[in-house]
Chain A
Amino acid sequence: MTQPHRLAAGGIVDRSRTLGFSFDGAAYEGHPGDTLASALLANGVHLIGRSFKYHRPRGIVTAGADEPNALVQLAHGARTEPNTRATQQELYHGLVADSQNRWPSLSFDIGALNDVFSPLFPAGFYYKTFMWPPGPRWWLKYEHAIRRAAGLGRAAREPDPDHYQHRFAHCDVLVIGGGPAGLAAAQAAARCGARVMLCDENATFGGSLRGDATLIDGTPAASWVDAGIGDLAANGDVTLLPRTTAFGYYDQNLIGLVERVADHLAEPPPFTPRQRLWHVRAGTVVLASGALERGIAYAGNDRPGTMLAGAAQAYVTCYGVKPGTRAVIFANNDSAYEAAVRLHDAGVSIAAIADARPEAALSGDHPQRARAAGVAILPGTAIVRAHGGLRVAGVDLASLQGGAARRIDCDLVCVSGGWNPAVHLYSQSRGKLRYDDALATFVPDASPQSIVAAGAANGKIDLSAVLANGHDAGLAAAARSGFAARTAQSAPTTAAVSTGPLQALWSVPSRRSAKCFVDWQNDVTVADIALAAREGYRSVEHLKRYTTLGMGTDQGKTANILGLALLAAELGVSIPQVGTTTFRPPYTPVTMGALAGHEVGATLEPTRYSAMHDWHVEHGARMLNAGLWKRPHSYPRPGESEDDAANREAKNVRSNVGAVDVSTLGKIELQGRDVAEFLNRVYINRWDTLAVGRCRYGVMLRDDGMVFDDGTTSRLSTTHYVMTTTTLNAVNVMQHLEYLLQVEWPELEVFATSVTEQWAGAALAGPKARQVLAALVSIDVSNAAFPFLAVGECELIAGGARIPARLFRMSYSGELAYEIHVPVTHGRAMWEAVMAAGEPFGIMPYGTEAMSTLRIEKGHVVIGPEADGRTTADDLGLGKLVSPAKWCIGKPLLARPALTAPERWQLVGLTAIDGTIPRGGKLVADPGQATPTPMLGHVSSWCWSPNLDASIGLALLERGRARHGDTLWAVSPLADARVRVRVGPPCFIDPEGERLRV
């Protein structure tokens, strides 16, 4: 017989359809609407897992997000997910789940020896044990063993096959929780015309009303919910989000939601993300997150078959499942009586209700109904001990006044120690909590953000009060966004229920060796808390860290209040004096996939492509990342290594001609009457002398005098300039200039815009560059007509087309060189024209590696390796550029003594005498010296020079310019290399610059 504990009717499950699933290899059946937990209970399965520390058998405690024990390993392979709450996982056909933290099997677990030897594992066991012998060496050894024992499930080892989306949203009112209060709030706010979002963690709305027949506005609650949801769904300004958990509350009412789009399916349908992360900006949040029941600590209160009373009620009402056949109820408040009546009506035998309160407190409507149903009620009584192993078999009841215990057999124990409003998000909003004596718990008080707590989350218990409070919260939230009620609205009504007072009870006294669990997930007992208090842990935050109370996947949702109440009792202070630990996001665990969204793998960051990208790829380029850009590293031919390709390309530039894509360089246009003055202020050199049609190299400093960026600026007309920056600093330089123009010097008539994206660029370099160019452009490029550092506008002839172009005669390689810029849309046509025109002259494309080699040979500095934020222009050999005739940014601080000290590190060139200069090596006089060897400098750039046939490099070296001709050692302990190097000037090729000017 399948599902022997399924009721014939009732609940939200669809009995007309059957879903097959397996748990620990055994096949079971359930129905649509079931959670894994309700389906297991319908099949009589209570033993779900083993506890974290003592490996005690554990069952299903709750029916929701607060579940500490019923955590399973869901699915196999790449989609496996550890610590899935069986109480929230929707059942689907073919679901596969396995229990965790047990070996070899769930019913026989070797780890349960920990339970036997539990006196050896008190609170703070790690700290007390693994501190010997002192020092980190032993801890590092222990750690390996501890790591293996730690954790419950296992993460998938394969890449996640699913995809995840992010979604931004804005609303006037975000209602968190679709139970009675949330529904009343959403309806009230929506009727005012506000934009409303309503989210609920379950598949269907209604919360505690799901499957419930209580009359609201004259109709059964479940129908009232359906009608309300129908109204909301028909409203275009309402967004309904079932299967969606609000997990985090951030500043300015930003709330994080996770929508489980496809977790109720074996795998997402095509094109559907598995989960969607919502970033919601809400005018006001109505927090209708309900309340979480707490237990009472007594000996053996963790035996499978022990459940919170509200959860037992939910399994009967919502899922149509009997969680046991014979139950004992243990309570200190009226709510458990409602559960008792529901269980009784469903055919569960109620052996007794043990109530900690005296007879006089049992006058409420629910106790009266239980009494009328003939249930035995034992006032002033508590469970002092539970019996059973893999399932509870009975309990010992005794008067709280003392006296003999008597045993009652049962297979279900339902406990209610009272209800805690789910204040987690309220607290995350930086809201303050207030201790409510009547509820013996913390309730929302005041928040600096726009949040209104409603219903059970606001400490309301009775359904009529919950509905009224939700309705008022909805109206208040809408009003805060300026939406008034359009017509008179009244709150939904239901019959009021009279309720007797709660009597706080946290634990039942027992023998010292008995385990009375406070935190089921972390195996924290009453004795652990007492021990921590004896050992001096007076702060609840310290208690948490010492005992692990409230940690783990449930973050102590059922345990925290118990723990701090017990600490308060140990310390002899009031509960509010102890206070609560800090609630932090997430409310329930969030998958890494949802947090990452689209930003994984190749789309981790956006990618920028130059107009010539496809050409590079088609011609065998090996692309690399330069910032967000893709740039060609080199163009290896078949059978050629990347290094060989780069060397071939670099050699070809010096002997023939090469072309490199320089589209990624930052380009900024400057216009206005005062551009020359502006340039004078931002560059170290003079700009008022730059003629139209000329360009100049310039260096910018930071305020502290260190080199910030370098590049060229060209004057196209009297009022029109174009500046280039390094690829990586393009945005920084633009921001720097905009800041200066807007904040520092608004009086200057200078306008700037970035044209990096407007112009594609190719640098044409090599002794044959002019011959290539002459066939390409509309102007005379002879040395006389277009000398070194000339600039002009022209047309580039590409096939039959004439493309508007800017031509610059500047060189980075040290060869005769030009840069051609054309609008990006013509970039590929220009590049192909260059390659075609160059073919007779042996042109080759070259990549960043050859470009780097050429600039090292020429001794040009780069922002980063040489201009590393600690170097001045003089350090880099550019001191003579600093104009004595004018002020510029950074100049005043260049006179600081430390910046003019003779022992500063200065740029030099290095040539290896034998071997290869090690990457990032440090420069020392004698590598044989005792460590730490005095460091004289470091290698900043290095390459194999195919043109010099030598390993060369650039370095920053103490008194470098005075050491030309010296021999030093470049050493790298990491590469186990020590190489003799000769120090010289940084420029290895054509120091007089004759090749540039031919």
Chain B
Amino acid sequence: MSESTYQSIGSTAPGHYGAAGSAVFLSEATIATAWNVQGDAASSPLRGEVQRIAGIALPDMANTASRSDRVVALWLGPQSWLLVAADAATLGDFNGGREALIAAGGALFDVSASRVAYVVDGPRAVDVLAAGSPLDFDPRLFGAGQCRQSLYGRVPALFYRHGEPPACTMLVARSFARDIWHSLCNAAAPYGYSVRAAATFA
């Protein structure tokens, strides 16, 4: 096979790539704002302030997400969450929010540019995810509304599942974006995949 057949794998331009058929859909989910909330999960002042600032209740359970129509809150650790909003206006003034959370015994970090998000969807999406991640993506065990941190290849990644049947949005550090996009495309090529235009983070 000619090299050029493979060279298109990894392109970010919308279109069909790889083997015949479109069993996988790949796209970027744009993030306008991402804030890392830290603090005591049991603190009601902290939860109250997050509710006031972001209009969302922090998820109680490990590895779960909560969402409003504009914000998704992802559980990262026993005292750490990631608030993601697709619209820059949603979360408002960062410095004001930070002062409020400090006053409530917590902290707020602006990490809006830190991560890039890719959506992996389609009938063979699990094959693409499982090509790089040791997690079990069976929707009965890792379904919509859940999130987990693991690796894709050797790169740390945060996986968030949403929709029905659940698609998976993968968040990785931005410096790895090109590498991960290539890995996803390579994993999807045997099944045939379509790159879709970037959409806002769901």
Contacts and interface: CB of A to CB of B under 8 A. Distances in A.
Contact of A606 (B38, B107, B114, B179): B179
Nearest to A165: B131
A2 interface: no
A758 B109 CA distance: 10
B104 to A, nearest CB: 11
Nearest to B136: A170
A753 B153 contact: no
Interface stretch (A3-11, A269-277, A418-426): A269-277
A168 B175 CA distance: 25
B190 A271 contact: yes
B107 to A, nearest CB: 4
Contacts of A269: 19
Interface string B21-51: 0000000000000001011000000000000
B90 interface: no
Contacts, number: 115
A273 B130 contact: no
Contacts of B173: 608, 756-757
Interface stretch (B57-65, B67-75, B162-170, B181-189): B181-189
B115 interface: yes
Given A598-B186, A606-B176, A671-B109, A270 B5 contact: yes
B134 interface: yes
Interface in A810-832: 823-826
A273 B183 CA distance: 14
B66 interface: no
A269 B183 CA distance: 19
Contacts of B52: none
A574 interface: no
A168 B178 contact: no
A263 to B, nearest CB: 15
Interface in B103-154: 105-115, 127, 130-136, 138, 153-154
B1 interface: yes
A168 B133 contact: yes
A195 interface: yes
A828 to B, nearest CB: 12
A126 interface: no
A184 B138 CA distance: 25
A207 to B, nearest CB: 27
A757 B190 contact: no
Interface string A822-858: 0111100000000000000000000000000000000
Given A755-B111, A824-B114, A607 B179 contact: yes
Contacts of A166: 131-132
Interface in A751-780: 751, 753, 755-759
A77 interface: no
B98 interface: yes
A751 B107 contact: yes
A757 B130 contact: no
Contact of B175 (A271, A273, A598, A610): A610
A168 B39 CA distance: 35
Contact of B155 (A279, A606, A756): A606
Contacts of B154: 599, 605-606
B111 to A, nearest CB: 5
B176 A753 contact: no
A823 B113 CA distance: 6
Contacts of B38: 671, 751, 753
A753 B175 contact: no
What DSSP secondary structure best describes chain B's contact surface? mixed
A609 B175 contact: yes
A608 B111 contact: no
A753 B183 contact: no
A672 interface: yes
B98 A720 contact: yes
Contacts of A163: 186
A719 interface: yes
A167 interface: yes
A757 B18 contact: no
A669 interface: yes
A629 B175 contact: yes
A24 B35 CA distance: 67
B197 interface: no
Contacts of A823: 112-113
- Scoring B9, B80, B113, B180 by chain A CB atoms within 10 A of each residue's CB, the highest score goes to B113
A758 B114 contact: yes
Interface in A252-287: 269-273, 279, 281
A982 B36 CA distance: 53
A169 B127 CA distance: 9
A270 B1 contact: yes
A168 B128 CA distance: 10
Contact of B107 (A273, A609, A671): A671
B136 A281 contact: yes
B115 A272 contact: no
A758 B102 contact: no
Contacts of B174: 611, 757, 824
Contact of A824 (B113, B127, B155): B113
Nearest to A758: B114
Nearest to B129: A168
Nearest to B39: A751
Interface in A24-72: none
B109 A608 contact: no
B175 A757 contact: yes
Interface in A725-749: 749
B187 A165 contact: yes
A672 B112 contact: no
B90 to A, nearest CB: 17
A598 B19 contact: no
B130 A825 contact: no
Contacts of B132: 166
Contact of A749 (B105, B113, B175): B105
A168 B111 contact: no
Interface string A644-672: 00000000000000000000000001011
Q: Which has the most chain A C-beta neighbours within 10 Å: B9, B102, B115, B192?
A: B102
A824 B133 CA distance: 26
A605 B183 CA distance: 12
A824 B113 CA distance: 6
Given A606-B153, A606-B154, A271 B19 contact: yes
Interface string A782-816: 00000000000000000000000000000000000
B127 A168 contact: no
Given A167-B127, A758-B110, A608 B102 contact: no
Given A605-B154, A824-B174, A169 B130 contact: yes
B130 A753 contact: no
A672 B113 CA distance: 22
Contacts of B110: 758
Contacts of B153: 598-599, 606
A174 to B, nearest CB: 14
Nearest to A610: B175
A610 B174 CA distance: 9
A608 B178 CA distance: 8
Interface string A158-199: 000001011111100000000000000000000000010000
Given A751-B107, A825-B112, 15 more contacts: A167-B127, A168-B131, A269-B19, A281-B134, A599-B153, A606-B179, A608-B175, A610-B175, A671-B109, A673-B102, A720-B98, A751-B79, A757-B114, A757-B175, A758-B110
Interface of B: 1, 5-6, 9, 18-19, 36, 38-39, 79-80, 98, 102, 105-115, 127, 130-136, 138, 153-155, 173-180, 182-183, 186-187, 189-190, 192
24 contacts: A168-B131, A270-B1, A270-B19, A271-B19, A271-B192, A603-B179, A603-B183, A606-B155, A606-B179, A607-B179, A608-B175, A608-B179, A609-B178, A609-B179, A611-B174, A671-B38, A671-B102, A672-B102, A673-B102, A756-B173, A757-B111, A823-B112, A823-B113, A824-B174
Report the 5 A-B pairs with minimum CB-CB distance, sorted nearest first: A751-B107, A608-B175, A671-B107, A823-B113, A170-B136
